Structure 1
Amino acid sequence: MSNEVKRNCNSCKHGLFTRCEALKNNEEYQTIRSASMSMRAAHEFKENFICNEYSSRYIEYPIEVSKINKNTELYSLEKSNIGKFVKIAPCGEEHKGKTYLGLFLGDLPMGISVSHNPTTKELNLGYFANPAIFVFELNKIVFGAESWWGVIETEDELKAITPNDIDNVWYVKALKAMSS
């Protein structure tokens, strides 16, 4: 497989979330979207559509860098829950849907994000953070992005996360609605 980025709407920063004027004004694409066809049909159209406004959403090397900015600040939407017990069901097949007891650690770095501003030539480095839970039985940290989890507020909530709990999460409902 080639490491070369294919120049099409799926790799263009304007093609993400209908920000692209060329797609907004393309009758064929709008017909595909308005007909409530599958997301696959829209993806396939964008895979073959190329316009003069293409701008890669990925950093294309070589680049000129005038300055490197680093942001080491971590943001957490769940600060009030740090140190609380949680129930967590990791997504890995080896866990077979089992729910564990964990301790919420807050948002911790999961990786590094890098962006480049071609106008100022500045390279921006920061953390990609995610909710982190220490799982006692596994003796390791499991991130929220690789699990289903929730804070335990009462003794009654100390139960397994069921498939029904997962199906009732707002973004799971949205993804199911979009794919049907």
Structure 2
Amino acid sequence: MTADKPLRADARRNRDLLIAKAREVFDDGDFFDLRFDDFARLAGVGTGTLYRHFPTREALAEAVYHGEVAALCDRARQLQAALPAAEAVATFLRGVVDHIAAHEGMARTLATLMADRSGALAEGSRALERAVADLVAEAAREGAVRDDVDTGAVLMALHGIGAAHGRPGWRTEADDLITLVLDGLRHPR
């Protein structure tokens, strides 16, 4: 399948079914318990359809990963359009923590599967970094946050939260860290 050629409606639907089923299985933490062919059956499509869209587990994981990143980036843009900039930053960062909490199994599965696909991870990281940079830059233009904080520092805090999701009490600590980041971003008056 080439990226240049648009998919027919039925092919797009089948691809979306496979990705949705993979997300569900990732969230449940059952991904490694299934044969790869089982995704086709669970999604209600044929095995040929599975392999036509995703020849490997890693290809399926990459599609799920890119979908998750795209959803987060879309959310950042929606918040930027709908809320005052400082509120958009805070809502987005807290929403990322909510996302991590809701999809812990997916995070573990994707981290395992994507460990050797650094190019795909880097692409997703760059997209997320652009979304966060846009939010922070807008808030800085409005004078609501400091303009001397690098977006990488904010992303580092998010990555740290994601990496620590297995710690006892991580959610409270994650919320506290986001509060600390937001306090650090506030423009001194």
Larger Rg: 1
Instruction: Calculate the TM-score normalised by the size of structure 1.
Output: 0.25
Instruction: Calculate the TM-score normalised by the size of structure 2.
Output: 0.24
Q: Which protein has the bigger helix share?
A: 2
